[in-house]
Amino acid sequence: MKHILFVCTGNTCRSPMAEGIFNVFIKRFKFNNLSCSSAGTAAFTGSEASEYAVEAAKAFGADISHHRSRALTPYLIDSADLIVCMTSAHLNVLLPYAPREKLRVLGDGIPDPYGGSQRDYLRSAYKIARGLIELIDIDLALEIVPFKERHIPEAVRLENISFSVPWSENAFRSELENPKARFFAAEYAGSVIGYIGAHNILSEVFITNISVLPSFRRRGVASKLLKHIIDISVSENADLITLEVRESNMAAIELYQKFGFQKAGVRKAYYEKPTEDAILMTKYLK
């Protein structure tokens, strides 16, 4: 579970709207691995969200009428995985207390609507919503989880998209029953956008398949899946990891080389439709 902390000044306008709207997005798009809260750099504890902020949040289905302000504390800073500031001024205040990579400004900054009209608050809410959509990227919302039976239908569809000789539903089901199998799904917004499978036999790991939905390729999903299986293999004290890849699949070969895999051999005419050699690649863990 990744926790996001939204920060403004008084924690009665912008950051509670961001928290409320983001919670709506979490529920609507099934980002079950995300949670959020808010605080203010100069907030008094216990103040209600401003009336205009409550009304503006309603336009996005968010109810922040029960919100109560709170001051930003070292504990809140340390507990957050990501701190999203309403302006660069807030970010600069936090720089001495949090790593720069943990801090982000929402969109191009959200001006303070305090003292303005209801229309000003609505403008802020719309700008917040646009910034939140940009915020929900692969790095933040992707979750790698153990492969379960519920993942099979989407995995089969992905196989049919990706491979000329795809795995069947029964093949995936047999992996769930195989004690030597290590299988993981990449979930985004409640859907399977990729998966990776491997077998660990006598401390030698063989990656059986890895696939990513075409619209999510070249966005780091395959790298995260590969890193996950490498980390699992290291934790199980494996000696090496081996995989096969089509000779023409240069993008995949370059990815594997980036993770330390080296060419170990060739399997002639290994692949079908079309017939093609397989490059055998190995990464030694010891």
Same domain, 73 and 154: no
Name the residue with higher pLDDT: 218 or 39. Answer: 39
Residue-level pLDDT at 219: 86
| Residue 177, Cβ density class (10 Å: 0-12 exposed, 13-18 middle, ≥19 buried) | exposed
Contact between 222 and 211 under an 8 Å Cβ cutoff? The reply is no
Q: How far apart are CA 229 and CA 232, in angstroms?
A: 5
Same domain, 79 and 95: yes
Total of domains in the chain: 2
Q: How far apart are CA 64 and CA 36, in angstroms?
A: 13
Residue-level pLDDT at 250: 95
Residue 4 has pLDDT above 90, yes or no: yes
Please identify, among 141, 161, 196, the residue that sits at the C-terminal boundary of a domain.
Answer: 141
For CA atoms 19, 23, 24, 25, give the dihedral sign.
Answer: positive
Same domain, 137 and 219: no
Residue-level pLDDT at 189: 80
Give the C-alpha distances (Å, rounded to integers) separating 79 from 4, 76, 96, 213, 233.
Answer: 9, 5, 16, 33, 29
Residue 240 has pLDDT above 80, yes or no: yes
The percent of the chain in helix, strand and coil, each rounded to the nearest 5, is 40, 30, 35
Residue-level pLDDT at 101: 93
Same domain, 187 and 200: yes
Name the residue with higher pLDDT: 66 or 286. Answer: 66
CATH label of the domain that carries residue 124: 3.40.50.2300
Same domain, 217 and 279: yes
Contact between 172 and 197 under an 8 Å Cβ cutoff? The reply is no
pLDDT in tens, 112-143: 999 999 999 999 999 999 999 888 877 788 89
Residue-level pLDDT at 152: 96
Amino acid at 44: F
Domain of 125?
A: 2-141
Q: What angle do CA 13, 14, 19 make, to 5 degrees?
A: 105
| Residue 250, Cβ density class (10 Å: 0-12 exposed, 13-18 middle, ≥19 buried) | exposed
CATH label of the domain that carries residue 209: 3.40.630.30
Same domain, 185 and 269: yes
Same domain, 225 and 268: yes
Same domain, 193 and 272: yes
The residues assigned a catalytic role are 244, 256
Name the residue with higher pLDDT: 79 or 32. Answer: 79
Same domain, 99 and 219: no
Residue 215 has pLDDT above 90, yes or no: no
Residue 30 has pLDDT above 90, yes or no: no
Query: How would DSSP label each residue in 211-253?
Result: EE-GGGTTTTHHHHHHHHHHHHHHHTT-SEEEEEEETT-HHHH
Residue-level pLDDT at 157: 94
In this structure, what are the phi and psi dihedrals at residue 82, rounded to the nearest 5 degrees? -145, 135
Same domain, 9 and 128: yes
Range in 44-58, 89-103, 131-145, 201-215 with the lowest mean pLDDT: 131-145
Contact between 229 and 193 under an 8 Å Cβ cutoff? The reply is no
Q: How far apart are CA 41 and CA 90, in angstroms?
A: 7
Same domain, 152 and 134: no
Residue 55 has pLDDT above 90, yes or no: yes
DSSP 8-state class, residue 170: H
Contact between 179 and 200 under an 8 Å Cβ cutoff? The reply is no
Mean pLDDT of the chain: 95
- Which tokens in the block code for residue 192? 């399977």
Same domain, 11 and 136: yes
The pLDDT-based confidence of 37 (bands split at 50, 70, 90) is: very high
Please identify, among 89, 107, 141, the residue that sits at the C-terminal boundary of a domain.
Answer: 141
Please identify, among 107, 124, 141, the residue that sits at the C-terminal boundary of a domain.
Answer: 141
